[in-house]
Structure 1
Amino acid sequence: MMEHAKRVAFLLANDFEDSEMKNPYEAIVKNGHEAVIIGLTKGAELTGKNGTVSYTSHLSAAEADPADYDAVIIPGGGSPSHLLDSEHIIEFIQKMDKEGKTIAAICHGPQLLAKAQLLDGRNLTAFPELHAEINDAGGRFIDKAVVVDENLITSRTPEDEPFFIEETINQLGVAAY
């Protein structure tokens, strides 16, 4: 059975952890899926906190329709904190979760899941300093390279990227070329 290419949204703002965007993004594209960068504004130049990579947002969160996407990836670093106050970003994540679509968040990415009130009774991991924040939001912090709880995939740090990427690609399936 041939699978169709999936559309994967990347929620991004400035100061993202460079490798946590670059490596999953390249893996999604390499596996035949479409990667769409959603930011606070369309056409914004977004630069990683280490300055090794930058991307231009394809859409603003206000324009993006969760129904158009099969999964969402939330890179860490400082990016999630810049997105926390966007009701459009939070609604996007909530709708993706309601539809049971894959939500993959690494490092500080789970801050957005907490803000979207998706953590109650869920198992996940994140940047270790977020342990209390996750527990306060009703989640169960598990200190592992990757934690999968239904449609949520979470990882801690850049060192966990291979596991994070593998799990995300596995959930998407292989696209037909």
Structure 2
Amino acid sequence: MKSDSKKVAFLLAEDFEDSEMRNPYEAIVKNGHDAVIIGLEKDKELRGKKGTVSYTTHLSADEAVAADYAAVIIPGGKSPSHLRESEAVLNFVREADRLDMPISAICHGPQVLASAGLMRNKTFTSYPGIAEEIAAVDGAVFVDKPVVVDGNFIMSRTPEDEPMFIEETIRRIGSNAY
């Protein structure tokens, strides 16, 4: 890890959307940062729902400390539905939000933020099928756009939005590529 690189937390569980993990992960590494995969268990191999990629967690959410990271990325798919049931994951994102660090969530990722109680009065985007569920949170307003930034949150809808999602995330974190 270069001395000026940053640690970026990826919150991940089984059945994530393959490209929504792979593409941001590769972009973070390419831009000179250290990508750390945090899951429900340490050293657990997780497979994407399409079966094209798998990743092994570095830490469990119980072990992770939000202050050790510069940003958080939450890929979509079915992963967020597993993550949102973990109080350790919810506490991690609450602390990351309290520290005002960038939190990027794509597709179903905003479900984790909603479960952590962080979507009140936020303008957001997500996979359209969960928009109503998240909009039911006090004052959350859904907009159907490729990328929505509200405070420290960066949110996108689907894999088609990944280029803009990644660009905005890297812009907020910074690049240390050679």
| TM-score using structure 1 length | 0.97
Query: Corresponding residue for 1:62?
Result: 62
> Residue by residue, what CA displacement relative to the aligned partner does 1:129-173 show, whole Å, maximum 9, x if unpaired?
111112111311110000001100000000000000000000001
Query: Corresponding residue for 2:164?
Result: 163
Query: Corresponding residue for 1:45?
Result: 45
Displaced runs of 4 or more, over 4 A: none
> Residue by residue, what CA displacement relative to the aligned partner does 1:16-65 show, whole Å, maximum 9, x if unpaired?
00000000000000000010000000000000000000000000000000
Q: How does 1:85-96 map to 2 (within 5 A)?
A: 85-96=85-96
Between 1:58-67 and 1:135-144, the stretch displaced more is 135-144
Overall identity of the aligned pairs, in %: 62
Are residues 176 and 20 of structure 1, via their aligned partners in 2, closer, same or farther at CA, if it must alter by over 3 Å? Answer: closer
Aligned length: 175
SS in 2 for 1:26: helix
- Quote the Cα distance in structure 2 between the aligned partners of 1:119 and 1:137: 7
- Paired residue type of 1:96: A
Query: Corresponding residue for 1:151?
Result: 152
SS in 1 for 2:167: helix
User: Any gaps of 5 or more consecutive residues in structure 1?
Assistant: none
- Quote the Cα distance in structure 1 between the aligned partners of 2:163 and 2:175: 17
User: Any gaps of 5 or more consecutive residues in structure 2?
Assistant: none
**Aligned Cα RMSD in Å?**
1.1
> Residue by residue, what CA displacement relative to the aligned partner does 1:53-102 show, whole Å, maximum 9, x if unpaired?
00000000000000100100000000001111100000000000011000
Asked if structure 1 preserves the Cα contact closer than 8 Å seen for 2:8 and 2:33, the reply is yes
Query: Corresponding residue for 1:124?
Result: 124
